[in-house]
Structure 1
Amino acid sequence: MGAVGDFPLEGKIVVVTGAGSGINLAFVRLAHTKGARIIIADLRLTKDAEDFLATVKDTVIFQPCDVTKRDDLETLITVSQNTFSDIPDVYVAGAGVFDPKHSNFWDDTEDDGYASLGVNLVHPIKLARIAIRELIGKDKPGVVLIIASMAGLIPLYADPLYSAAKHAMVGFARGMGHADELEGVRVAAICPGITDENSQTPEEVAVEMAALVEDGTRYPGGTILQTSRRATAIAPPPEGFKILKEIISGSIGLPGERLKGGRGALK
Structure 2
Amino acid sequence: MALRGKTAVVTGGGQGIGRAICHALSAARMQVVVSDLLPDLASRVANEVGGIAVPCDVSEPEEIAALVSAAEDRFGAINLFCSNAGFAKGDPGGAVSAPDAQWQASWDVHVMAHVRAARLVLPGMIARGEGVLVNVASGAGLLNQIGDAAYSATKHAAVSLAQSLAITHADQGIQVAVVCPLYVATPLLGYDDSAREAVPHDRVLRPEDVAQSLMEGLAEGRFLILPHAEAGEFARRRATDPEGWIRGMQALRRRVMAELGPESDLVDLHKLI
TM-score (norm 1): 0.73
Shift of 1:76: 2.4
- CA distance in 2 between counterparts of 1:174 and 1:208 reads 19
Q: Does 1:150 align with 2:139?
A: yes
What letter corresponds to residue 108 of structure 2 in structure 1? G
Alignment partner, residue 12 of structure 2: 18
Alignment partner, residue 128 of structure 1: 118
Asked whether the equivalents of residues 19 and 25 of structure 1 are also in contact (C-alpha less than 8 Å), the reply is: yes
- CA distance in 2 between counterparts of 1:191 and 1:46 reads 27
TM-superposition CA deviations, 1:43-93 (whole Å, max 9, x none): 11566x644433544xx0000111111121122232122211x22100100
Alignment partner, residue 225 of structure 1: 225
What letter corresponds to residue 133 of structure 1 in structure 2? P
TM-superposition CA deviations, 1:231-259 (whole Å, max 9, x none): 586977979xxxxxxxxxxxxxxxxxxxx
Q: Secondary structure at the match of 2:166?
A: coil
Shift of 1:107: 4.4
What letter corresponds to residue 167 of structure 1 in structure 2? H
| Alpha-carbon spacing, 1:55–1:200, altered in 2? closer, same or farther (3 Å) | closer
Alignment partner, residue 263 of structure 1: none
Alignment partner, residue 217 of structure 2: 212
- CA distance in 2 between counterparts of 1:238 and 1:178 reads 21
Q: Secondary structure at the match of 1:9?
A: coil
Gaps of 5+ in 2: 186-195, 241-273
Shift of 1:179: 3.5
Shift of 1:140: 3.6
Shift of 1:129: 2.3
Alignment partner, residue 165 of structure 1: 154
- CA distance in 1 between counterparts of 2:90 and 2:36 reads 17
Instruction: For CA contacts below 8 A with separation 6 or more, give which structure has more relative contact order.
Output: 1
Asked whether the equivalents of residues 39 and 55 of structure 2 are also in contact (C-alpha less than 8 Å), the reply is: no
More helix by percentage:
2
When the two chains are superposed, the root-mean-square deviation of aligned CA atoms in Å is 2.8
TM-superposition CA deviations, 1:81-113 (whole Å, max 9, x none): 2211x2210010000011268xx9654434796
| Alpha-carbon spacing, 1:111–1:156, altered in 2? closer, same or farther (3 Å) | closer
| Alpha-carbon spacing, 1:207–1:109, altered in 2? closer, same or farther (3 Å) | same
Alignment partner, residue 183 of structure 1: 172
What letter corresponds to residue 57 of structure 2 in structure 1? D
TM-score (norm 2): 0.71
- CA distance in 1 between counterparts of 2:167 and 2:25 reads 26
| Alpha-carbon spacing, 1:179–1:212, altered in 2? closer, same or farther (3 Å) | farther
Shift of 1:180: 4.5
Alignment of 1:1-267 (within 5 A): 7-45=1-39, 50-57=43-50, 60-84=51-75, 86-99=76-89, 106-110=96-100, 114-136=104-126, 138-196=127-185, 197=196, 198=199, 199-216=204-221, 219=222, 223-228=223-228
Q: Secondary structure at the match of 2:145?
A: coil
Equivalent pairs, count: 220
**Identity over aligned pairs, percent:** 26
- CA distance in 2 between counterparts of 1:164 and 1:233 reads 19
- CA distance in 2 between counterparts of 1:151 and 1:112 reads 17
Q: Secondary structure at the match of 1:24?
A: helix
- CA distance in 2 between counterparts of 1:9 and 1:95 reads 22
| Alpha-carbon spacing, 1:113–1:181, altered in 2? closer, same or farther (3 Å) | closer
TM-superposition CA deviations, 1:9-42 (whole Å, max 9, x none): 2111000111011111101011111110011111
Shift of 1:178: 2.4
